[in-house]
Amino acid sequence: MAYLFTSESVSEGHPDKIADQISDALLDYFLAFDENSKVACETLVTTGQVVLAGEVRSNTYLDVQQVARDVINDIGYTKGDYKFSGDSCGVISLIHEQSQEIYQGVDKTDKENQGAGDQGMMFGYATNETESYMPLALDISHKILIELAKLRREGKELTYLRPDAKAQVTIEYSDDHKPMRIDTIVISTQHDQFDTDDSKMLEQIKTDMQKVLMPRVKALFSEEIQALFNDEITYHINPTGKFVIGGPHGDSGLTGRKIIVDTYGGKGAHGGGAFSGKDPSKVDRSAAYASRHIAKNMVAAGIADEVLVQVSYAIGVSKPTSITVNTTNKHIDVTDGEIAKKISQIFDMRPGMIEKRLKLRNPIYRETSAYGHMGKSPKTETKVYKSNYSGEVKKEVELFTWEKLDYVNQLKEAFGI
């Protein structure tokens, strides 16, 4: 019997995502000026206030308040009407030095054998139902909000848009787990106060979302996926009505409170650890990226239609305590246990080697902090960072290295495909 599956995403202007972006911007600045920085910083945003907290060990000093303000302005919180603005909000820093007891267990002279920054389990997932090897419902949800933000920044149509927004997509699947159609789309977008009454305002927003936004979203997909967009989709647009009060004025935001949005939208599994604000010695982040890298390359190599990889660690210990692989609809006659054993031989999952393989000690994290850490295209960029205390640094960095399909041939050879 067919079944429904739903995923959601939130915009860069959502309070929790503001917090994530500030935390990752701080991380990038620390890594830009000192690649060996150890960072675990959290952010709280609320009406007119930002609180920065956490532990940092670094040889550089930053104006963390200015970094936070720049992120807020860049997102689009620049008007007094929003009750939250990068130029006027208060920024309190409670960041202090990392515990020596944690540092001594993680940092080693032999970088390849540095210990894991914490215990825990991390997951990576991939599926062949989209070109990005991501779950379709989440992929569509992300793209709805990316296009909505582009419309807001273009300022030509839908000029009433404000930064806060959420989207949710429900897909109907067949018994053999293939997407059949889009059943429901939910979009809630913050907006300016209209001069008209609330009913006319809501009708205008509904029309714009379906007639202006959704055609742009649909055009981003292959013909096969475009066929899933049908005339019978149920739309819920701003279902509570008016959405003028939003962002940190409408709700407080915290780093790490959107971990399912950040990963696979409820597909696969999640170990519970957040990503943003953490340097790559924290395996919550680096091992999750490495597990996604493995899963994506496995699906691309044709080992299975769907792959879930789990890895676990003990704090201060470099070698993983376990590596587990679960596959769906395998195309090879090998057990999951045998696959996991071979994967552990191909991919070195020691934290230091993950950092080296995926080039994680670079300022590459602000780009991950909205619209998902997984599923984006790898690319190379030149980034410039300026500091009143350390001058200017220019770095060429690779973004989303864990999305590269650079192990496909090796996996095909290893599994005789």
Given a cut of 90, whether residue 309 has pLDDT beyond it is: yes
Q: Say whether 257 counts as a known binding-site residue.
A: yes
Q: Residue 414: pLDDT above 50?
A: yes
Taking phi first (over 0 means left), then psi (-120 to 50 degrees means alpha), and beta for anything else, what does residue 26 get? alpha
Residues 17-28: what's their mean pLDDT? 98
Rounded Cα distance between 154 and 164, Å, is 16
CB 308 within 8 Å of CB 123: yes
Are the beta carbons of 45 and 19 closer than 8 angstroms? Answer: yes
Q: Residue 197: its pLDDT value, please?
A: 81
Consult the annotation and say whether 16 binds a ligand: yes
Residues 293 and 370 both lie in one domain: yes
171 within a domain of the structure (yes/no): yes
Residues 6+ apart with CB under 8 A from 330: 303, 304
Average pLDDT (118-129) is 94
Q: Do 379 and 314 belong together in one domain?
A: yes
| Same-domain status, 230 and 301 | no
Provide the residue count of the chain: 417
**List of long-range contacts for 330-333, beta carbons under 8 Å, 24+ apart:** 330/303, 330/304, 331/302, 331/303, 331/304, 331/305, 331/417, 332/303, 332/304, 332/415, 332/416, 332/417
Share of the chain above pLDDT 90, in %: 83
Q: Please determine, for residue 284, whether its predicted confidence score (pLDDT) is greater than 90.
A: yes
pLDDT at residue 127 above 70? yes
Tokens at residue 254, please?
């915290």
| Residue 142 is labelled as binding a ligand | no
Asked if 230 and 290 sit in the same domain, the reply is: no
**Residue 144 scores a pLDDT above 90:** yes
Nearest-5° Cα angle at 255, 81 to 188: 50
DSSP reduced 3-state for 1: coil
The tokens for 311 are 């890895």
Q: What is the pLDDT of residue 276?
A: 98
365, 386, 377, 379: which is closest to 146 by C-alpha?
377
Quick one: pLDDT at residue 336?
A: 96
Q: For residue 79, what pLDDT is reported? A: 87
Mean pLDDT throughout 87-100?
83
What's the confidence (pLDDT) of residue 191? 93
Q: What is the pLDDT of residues 146-161, one digit of tens each?
A: 999 999 999 899 999 9
CA distance 136 to 266: 11
CA–CA separation, 93 and 113 (whole Å): 33
Residue 98: pLDDT over 80:
no
For the cut 90, the answer to whether the pLDDT of residue 29 exceeds it is: yes
Percent of the chain surpassing pLDDT 70: 96
Q: Is 234 in the same domain as 317?
A: no
Residues 401 and 293 in one domain: yes
Q: Is 42 annotated as a binding residue?
A: yes
Boundary-marking domain end, from 221, 246, 271: 246
In a domain, 20, yes or no: no
Whether the per-residue pLDDT at 97 is higher than 80: the answer is: no
Of 199, 230, 246, which residue sits at a domain end?
246
Residue 335 in this model has a pLDDT that exceeds 50:
yes
Q: How far is CA 311 from the centre of its chain?
A: 19
Per-residue confidence (pLDDT) for residue 31, from 0 to 100: 97
308 and 394 co-located in one domain: yes
304 annotated among ligand-binding-site residues: no
In a domain, 405, yes or no: yes
pTM of the predicted protein model: 0.94
Greatest extent of the chain over all pairs of C-alpha atoms, in Å = 67
Question: Which residues lie below 8 Å from residue 281, measured CB to CB, with a gap of 6+?
Answer: 38, 106, 107, 114, 116, 117, 351, 355
Whole-angstrom distance, CA of residue 412 vs CA of residue 304: 12
Q: What pLDDT score was predicted for residue 368?
A: 98
pLDDT band at 102 (very low <50, low <70, confident <90, very high): very low
Residue 17 lies in a domain: no
Q: Is residue 365 included in any domain, yes or no?
A: yes
303 in a domain, yes or no?
Answer: yes
Could you tell me if 241 and 288 lie in one domain? no
Rounded mean pLDDT, 261-285 = 96
| The dihedral sign for the CA sequence 326, 329, 330, 333 | positive
282 is in an annotated binding site: yes
pLDDT at 342: 96
| 382 within domain boundaries | yes
Distance of CA 191 to the CA centre of its chain: 25
> Does 258 appear as a known binding residue?
yes
**Is the domain of 146 the same as that of 241?**
yes
Question: Would you say 17 is a known binding-site residue?
Answer: no
Is 404 annotated to bind ligand?
Answer: no
CATH number, domain at 206?
3.30.300.10
The verdict on whether residue 97 carries a ligand-binding annotation is no
Lowest-pLDDT range of 59-63, 255-259, 348-352, 362-366: 59-63
Are residue 316 and residue 395 in the same domain, yes or no? Answer: yes
pLDDT above 90 for 76: yes
Q: What does the block give as tokens for 204? A: 């205008």
pLDDT of residue 109: 58
Instruction: Tell the residue number behind the tokens 């959290």, with chain if given.
Output: 42
Residue 8 is labelled as binding a ligand: no
Instruction: Check whether 98 is labelled as a binding-site residue.
Output: yes
In a domain, 371, yes or no: yes
Q: d(Cα 103, Cα 283) in Å, to the nearest integer?
A: 14
Same domain, 169 and 227: yes
The CB density around residue 245, as the number of other CB atoms within 10 Å, is 14
One domain for residues 399 and 330: yes
Q: Is 319 annotated as a binding residue?
A: no
246, 274, 309: which is the final residue of a domain?
Answer: 246
> How many distinct structural domains can be found in the chain?
2
Instruction: State the average pLDDT for the chain.
Output: 93
- Residue 101: its pLDDT value, please? 43
Residue span of the structural domain in which 383 resides: 120-127+282-414
| 166 annotated binding-site participant | yes
